[in-house]
Amino acid sequence: MQDVLVIGAGPAGLSLAAALAKTGLAVQGLALADPAHPWPNTYGIWVDELEDLGLVQFLEHRWKDCVVNVNSGTLPLHREYGLLNKDRLQTHWLTQANKHQVTWHQGKAVRIEHLTTHTLVTTEAGELLTARLVVDATGHRSALVRRPIASELAFQAAYGIVGQFSQAPTDPQQMVLMDYRDDHLTPAQRREPPTFLYAMDLGNDLYFVEETSLAHHPAISMEVLRQRLHQRLRHRGIAVESSHHVEQCLFPMNLPLPDFNQRVVGFGGAASMVHPASGYMVGAMLRRGPGLAQAIAAALGAPETTPTEVASQAWQALWPADRVRKHYLYLFGLENLMAFDGPQLHQFFAAFFSLPTDDWAGFLADSLTLPEVVQAMIGLFGRASNPVRLGLMRSVFSHGHLLGRTLMS
């Protein structure tokens, strides 16, 4: 019998299948399509996150000139950003997985049954797969991982174009993390939920421009984002000359944490690993995958450990109590971001990106300890304008339960 069945062949599934197989476990994978089928999304990440992991060779583009634009001006970020070469990363993990004899099945997981010593997964076509542990890495709409039903899911949504333009949408060799300037909007549009431009110079006259809603419930529609992108570009006198690729992005920011007592283990979107205040996940996945694989290998290697205990130890490795506490603090941050009006958002980001780089970088990467996150938030409060402080204080009353979970989880 196989030790682990990993379901899903996105970044989470492939990276974990490779990491598990490297520990010596017998691993099989199940995915809807060939695991070599190209991933659809473009992944951005801060270069220092990859440097720490020794993975910078998987970057396709790097930008030293990274900025945030708000109505009051441009904020230089003094931190290098990159786009992953997703094909190279995918090939790397597939090669690793193949080297360690991971076998792949194609199909859609539809049913799971836990027996005393192992678990059975049935595909839509009726294929039956057996393993001592099942990892669900099927993304944000997980196939098997159970979680509480969310009352109000907030979505990050974006509409982007890779193409050529009549004028450069950014400065040469620049990456714009957020351009929140709203001088192109009508007064009525300025009262609607704010959106920003994420943009980068890809070289050879090619640019990526994406109108993004950081988080909103319900999701901002693609049509609104598309219109806003063109309105913004038009206002700056920029026309799209050719469009090579259109990206439509939609994923939940505050998916509830899974039930940690279930026998299926999740990873990636399926394990609610998206950072609730930024929408980034790839860095966290790269950092936490090897530790999760080691914890699973150790638990499966202990003869007395029951399958329920193996799953529980895996969930513990992925979501230790301290990380759960921080997660609620980030959810509190998300609620604030969604409650701010346009001017408050501008003032908030001006204060946030004027924090010491280690503080805002650590907040976004979830690499600070809980006391450090609290310290950074206090620092932010100190720098923020009065309207932002007022918004934050109001939020303590309306979303205090999230702060309570930070203290009590």
Contact residues for ligand FAD (CB under 6 A)? 7-13, 30-33, 41, 43-44, 108-109, 137-139, 143, 247, 249, 251, 268-270, 274, 280-282
CA dist list (Å): 72 to 65, 179, 181, 297, 343? 19, 11, 9, 52, 10
CB nearer to ligand FAD: pick between 11 and 276:
11
Shortest approach of ligand FAD to residue 300 CB, angstroms?
Answer: 22
Integer angstrom CA distances of residue 374 from 65, 320, 351, 366, 387: 29, 18, 16, 12, 20
Query: Closest distance between ligand FAD and the C-beta of residue 125, in Å?
Result: 11
CB of 187 to ligand FAD, least distance (A): 31
Closest C-alpha among 110, 81, 141 to residue 269: 141
* Residue closest to ligand FAD when measured from CB atoms: 10
| Smallest gap from residue 399 Cβ to ligand FAD (A) | 24
Strand-pair partners of 128: 122
Q: Which two tokens stand for residue 265?
A: 């283990």
Residue with smaller CB distance to ligand FAD, 12 or 177:
12
| Residue whose CB is less far from ligand FAD, 207 or 346 | 207
Distance of closest approach, residue 282 Cβ to ligand FAD, in angstroms: 4
Closest distance to ligand FAD from the beta carbon of 303 (Å): 31
Q: How far is CA 159 from CA 176, 189, 199, 210, 378, in A?
A: 15, 18, 11, 5, 34
- Determine the Cα–Cα distance for residues 85 and 31; give it in Å rounded to an integer: 21
Q: What angle do CA 45, 378, 53 make, to 5 degrees?
A: 25
Q: Is the peptide bond before 276 cis (omega within 30 degrees of 0)?
A: no
Please, what is the minimum distance in Å from the beta carbon of residue 350 to ligand FAD? 23
Residue whose CB is less far from ligand FAD, 7 or 296: 7
Interatomic CA distance for residues 366 and 328, integer angstroms: 12
Residue closer to ligand FAD, measured from CB, 43 or 332: 43
Would you say 45 or 350 has its CB closer to ligand FAD?
45
In the DSSP assignment, the letter for residue 167 is S
Q: Is 293 helix (H, G, I), strand (E, B) or coil?
A: helix
Smallest distance from the beta carbon of 352 to ligand FAD, in angstroms?
Answer: 18
- Paired tokens of 305: 């450990």
Of 122 and 174, which CB lies nearer to ligand FAD in the complex structure?
122
Q: Which is nearer to ligand FAD, 133 or 281 (CB)?
A: 281
List the structure tokens of 253. 């920011």
Q: Which is nearer to ligand FAD, 177 or 388 (CB)?
A: 177
Q: How far apart are the first and last CA of the chain?
A: 37
Task: Indicate the SS3 state at residue 245.
Answer: strand
Which DSSP letter does residue 23 get? Answer: T
Distance between CA atoms of 252 and 276, rounded to whole angstroms?
9
User: How far apart are CB 179 and ligand FAD at their closest, in Å?
Assistant: 16
- Residue 207 identity: Y
Which CB atom, from 121 or from 388, has the smaller least distance to ligand FAD? 121
Find the shortest distance in angstroms from Cβ 315 to ligand FAD: 16
CA 315 to chain centre: 19
CB 61 within 8 A of CB 200: yes
